[in-house]
Amino acid sequence: MPKLKQEQEIKDLSSYKYGFNDGEISYYNTGEGINEEVIRTISHYKNEPEWMLQFRLDSYRQFLKINNPKWGPDLSFMNFDDYVYYIKPTDHVATTWDDVPEKIKNTFDRLGLPEAERDYLAGIKAQYDSELVYGSMLEEVEEKGVIFLDCDTALREHPELFKKYFGTLVPNTDNKYAALNSAVWSGGSFIYVPKGVKLDKPLQAYFRINYENGGQFERTLIIVDDDAELHYIEGCTAPVYSRDSLHAAVVEIFVGKNAKMRYTTVQNWSDNVLNLVTKRSIVDTNGQMEWIDGNIGSRINMKYPSIILKGDHSKGQCISIAVAKENVIQDAGAKMIHLGKYTSSKIISKSMTFNGGTANYRGLVHIGPAAQYSKARVECDTLILDGKSHSDTIPQNKVFNNESQIEHEATVSKVSEEQLFYLKSRGLDEQQALEMIVMGFLEPFTRELPMEYAVELNQLIRMDMEGSVG
């Protein structure tokens, strides 16, 4: 294929499927910029207790003091007064899709949410800009004592439970963007699964940014009590604008004794979104935590899901993919902190770059002095589809006792002419052969997704990479 034709084909076929916008939809917003008055306005508008206002103000002061990280992509270009920090799209939360405002409902129809809820979900929350616009849960799940609310409602209706956990795993001093989230957070998911309750179907939240140069700062807080089980799915999209949007979420997850938690993210932001997220979990004795983390879009993505293996015999796993094309920097990875004895962890990271994209793995495995007889394994694999893309593997592996072990392996490979020739000799054209190689490379991730998500993910990747042999 001639080079110019190939480059044009990549541009034509890499169009972002969810890049439409609904125009300006805003029941109320604070306007561009951030200061203490904006913080007070958000808290007052939400009618929050005094302790939350003080937490927000302290977080804002921490945000001003903390610098951008000195590692990773350069964020010095950001002007924080360019963003709108609170955008309320409607005056109420709907409990039926028919009650959602027409423009917003049409967006979620195009994203397939009503169909997904009907076919295979136990409950769903849909957030549009800063606030929840729709929420529902199966009656039989509610009868088991499961709480599934947006965090604003949880603060009002379950204040003691909320305050017990909120901000304890990711404090407002953790990093600049956790501090920013703590100052202006809105929406997100609050889930409590009582002892012994095991959900057969997943709960899902979907986050949509619509407002140009808007910020979305949801806060997710999940407690899976002893002997309970939960699978939570998160999806994300945004329109394509000429100005950047900012997404800085915080996720805190508490996994009890003998409990199991799986958190699946299919992050498909448009390429003008800065995605700067802090996700952390802590696991008690014999508990299990899994992050299934898909990163397809964003201009800059910095995300390192973390698991603190506090209890003896606790287990952690992170399986992730990062797909980087032109003008995209994926700086992602995982962190495993072993504190208990006989703990085990596995990180499987798959990165794919093409058309000049950058995808880096940045990770940490820490096995503490008391975490004797623990095991950790890290697998980092990168597939580069052309000569102008870039990838680095930047691991930190630390063991502080003599009875534990870490295994680490990393590979970087290109699609070879021999591979393509072999598959073409079996009747495939060049693009079909490339797709087969890529889908095989990503299979350890896609097999962990529910079928509907795996099919959608494969379609998105095919659309992004079509024509990118070279």
What local confidence, expressed as pLDDT, does residue 1 receive?
42
pLDDT band with cut points at 50, 70 and 90 for residue 92: low
Cα separation, 295 vs 289, in Å, equals: 19
pLDDT band with cut points at 50, 70 and 90 for residue 20: very low
CB 453 within 8 A of CB 418: no
Q: Work out the average pLDDT over 287-316.
A: 94
Distance of CA 107 to the CA centre of its chain: 21
pTM exceeds cut of 0.75: yes
pLDDT at 12 over 80: no
Which residues partner with 375 through β-bridges? Answer: 344, 405
* Domain extents in the chain: 26-417
Q: One-letter amino acid identity for 283? A: V
Cα separation, 186 vs 138, in Å, equals: 24
- pLDDT tens-place string over residues 101-122: 666 666 666 656 556 555 556 6
Cα separation, 294 vs 309, in Å, equals: 22
- pLDDT tens-place string over residues 383-428: 888 788 888 889 999 999 999 999 999 888 877 677 777 677 777 7
pLDDT at 288 over 90: yes
pLDDT at 208 over 90: no
Q: Work out the average pLDDT over 79-105.
A: 73
What local confidence, expressed as pLDDT, does residue 7 receive?
44
Mean pLDDT of the chain: 83
At which residue do the structure tokens 């947006």 appear? 150
Tokens linked to 430: 């060049």
- Radius of gyration over every alpha carbon of the chain, rounded to an integer in angstroms: 22
Higher pLDDT, 429 or 48: 48
Cα separation, 305 vs 278, in Å, equals: 7
Beta strands 87-88 and 28-29, pairing class: antiparallel
Which residues partner with 424 through β-bridges? Answer: none
Cα separation, 250 vs 230, in Å, equals: 19
pLDDT at 238 over 60: no
- pLDDT tens-place string over residues 303-327: 999 999 999 999 999 999 888 888 8
pLDDT band with cut points at 50, 70 and 90 for residue 453: low
- pLDDT tens-place string over residues 419-435: 777 677 777 777 777 77
Question: How many residues belong to the chain?
Answer: 470
